[in-house]
Structure 1
Amino acid sequence: MKSLLVQFFTWWNGATWGTRFFTWRKGEFVGNDEFGNSYYRERGGKKRWVIYKDLAEASQIPSGWHGWMHHRVDTPPSEVAYTPRSWQQSHRPNATGTPGAYRPKGSILTPEHRPKVSGDYEAWSPDS
């Protein structure tokens, strides 16, 4: 019952009922990626979409599927033997708001102090 309510009221968990209905009615399954996301295209049309396995995070689309989703290539990676280029990196989850987030020197969340630089502000005082 909980999963039914989650699908009905949220868009960030998998797919909404509208997306599921559109997929059932006009969608053609193309393939899955290594994260378990499912890719579809419209029969006889140009629309392409993804139904995420868990939370909807666009950075979780692998590079081969990203090219297909954005119409840079016509054949999906499931129909060809796609190998990523040497400069393409694998997915790293967004660490914002977690203990693994980047915190530069001088951040209020780090004990380190930012080094002084020449452009630092000095308050004006009438005595100087």
Structure 2
Amino acid sequence: MKKFLLQFFTWWNGQTLGTRFHTWRKGERVGEDEFGNIYYQGGTDSEGRTRRWVIYNGLAEASMVPPGWHGWLHQKVDTAPVEENYMPREWQKPHLPNLTGTPAAYRPDGSILTKEDRPRVTGDYDAWTP
């Protein structure tokens, strides 16, 4: 019941009521990824393509979609990763959460949010003047 109420009152917890209804009515389960996200297809979009969507396992965090599923969701490939022996390319990195807005976010030297001083200017830069 608690999970349903979270989904009812918030859009970032799993799925909205509209997504739940559309999934129930037209959704065909295609597969699941290593994070527990479930992928569906069904119906058509405004351009006549088959609609594809994901129901997140937990918070709706787009960076939690692996590269193979990302390509399938965005109509870049027709075959879902579960229908083929998908192997990530060597340059595709494993998931890292989006740390923006957290204490672990990247803050360069000189940022007002760090204790370090701004690096000294080396003199190799000439400011533009009109």
Which residue of 82, 87, 111 maps to 2:91? 87
Moved over 6 A (4+): none
8 Å contact from structure 1 (residues 28, 43) kept in 2 = no
Q: Which has the larger radius of gyration?
A: 1
Q: State how 1:51-90 maps to structure 2 within 5 Å.
A: 51-90=55-94
The residue aligned with 2:118 is 114
Aligned-CA RMSD value: 1.9
SS of match in other structure, 1:6: helix
Percent of residue pairs identical? 65
CA distance, structure 2, for counterparts of residue 3 and residue 94 of structure 1: 24
- Where does structure 1 lack aligned partners over 5 or more consecutive residues? 122-128
The residue aligned with 1:101 is 105
CA distance, structure 1, for counterparts of residue 74 and residue 94 of structure 2: 18
CA distance, structure 1, for counterparts of residue 4 and residue 91 of structure 2: 41
TM-superposed CA distance for 1:43, in Å, is 5.3
C-alpha deviations, 1:65-85, integer Å up to 9, x for none? 011111111110011110000
Which residue of 46, 50, 53 maps to 1:46? 50
Q: Tell me: CA distance 1:97–1:43, structure 2 relative to 1, closer, same or farther (3 Å).
A: closer
The residue aligned with 1:126 is none
TM-score norm. by structure 2 comes to: 0.85
